[in-house]
Amino acid sequence: MVGFNQPLGYRWQLYRLTPAPSESVPLYFGMAYDLTDKLVIGISSRALFNLELENGIYETEGVAAYSAYQRAHEDEPLSPGTAFPLVRALLELNAAIPNRRLVEVVVISRNSPDTGLRAFNAIEASKLDITRAAFTGGESIARYLQAFKVDLFLSRDASDVQAAIDGGVAAAQLYDGPPTYQAPAKQIRIAFDGDAVLFSAESERIYKQKGLDAFIRHESKNRHKAMTEGPFAKLLLRLAEIQQHFPPGQCPVRIAIVTARNSPAHTRVIHTLRAWNVAIDEAFFLGGLPKDQVLQAFGAHMFFDDQEYHVELAATVVPSGRVPYKGGQLILNVSAARTVRRTQSKAPGTPAKRNAKVAGGKTPNKRKPAPK
């Protein structure tokens, strides 16, 4: 049994928040709730709701002005953030199987408990079944992700996402959502890039360091050898477990891989998924073609990619997040990799844009400013 005193405001119960009485009352919980068999999404309040105005106040005027604004507007509704459609759709899975909760969502935020009240008011107004939270008062979030058994952490803050990835938790920095986006009804559609997202960054690193020809030789040589797990592999396996709860053809979760690979580099992807015993619903081997139109046609609730270029393009049509490399960068000797790519791009008849579309399909990593 666990007990604590909760003063004015709201108090926790197992599945909902209820107004607390005027006096301090000890609360007791019965049997411990187990998250190990659930898909657990950790999310910042700014990823769930549009709090860009409030974040601007924090960055320009400081904590005191931000706190005062949040208090003054805590009963005002908040518009959906980039992850709102995905979160709402995932929570609706809990009604699909009687007496079986498949998904839990935990708000994990640097807000103080006081300023965090506005997020919970918005959660209640939006009728989202979210009852758990961690408000760290400005302290690092990453160390609490394992405590909540988080399978995926979504945030707008690059440093929090980087810390999560470095700590072994799948995480993505979300970009602004497309203003005209309409989420698919009655189905959850999630799209992943392959290298450095579902799969390890080994092959991506070879491409960056040694060039496209070396990448193709490596993948052809290892076509029947499964790639090692990337940062989102465990999330993919968890989603595959959810799919197994439903009869074939009736699963509300649909998964796609949208990758710049093409033949012959696609073969290793298929063999890796077989080794993991995962059946992907759709796969698109684009060979350097832009990903945005495919993602729009697929109707993704969320797309995850490691390259800014692809995420920025995708974010104009579907909610998207960038997956950073562990440690912050893919390779240490960046200048050497750039030399390889410059040499390759200057070869007669093979400008960089044409190189992106030959066998193997890797796209040059165009660097653009990351979103705030």
**So which residues are the catalytic ones?**
193
Peptide bond into 264 cis (omega under 30): yes
Distance CA 250, CA 66 (A): 46
Q: Which helix (H) or strand (E) covers residue 254, if one does?
A: strand 253-259
Q: How far is CA 6 from CA 9, 10, 28, in A?
A: 8, 8, 11
Residue 19: both structure tokens together: 């107004």
Q: Are the beta carbons of 81 and 50 closer than 8 angstroms?
A: yes
Q: How far is CA 101 from CA 85, 95, 274, in A?
A: 19, 8, 28
Distance CA 298, CA 282 (A): 9
* Cα–Cα nearest to 186, from 276, 251, 264: 251
* Cα–Cα nearest to 181, from 87, 302, 336, 78: 302
* Cα–Cα nearest to 231, from 147, 303, 170, 298: 170
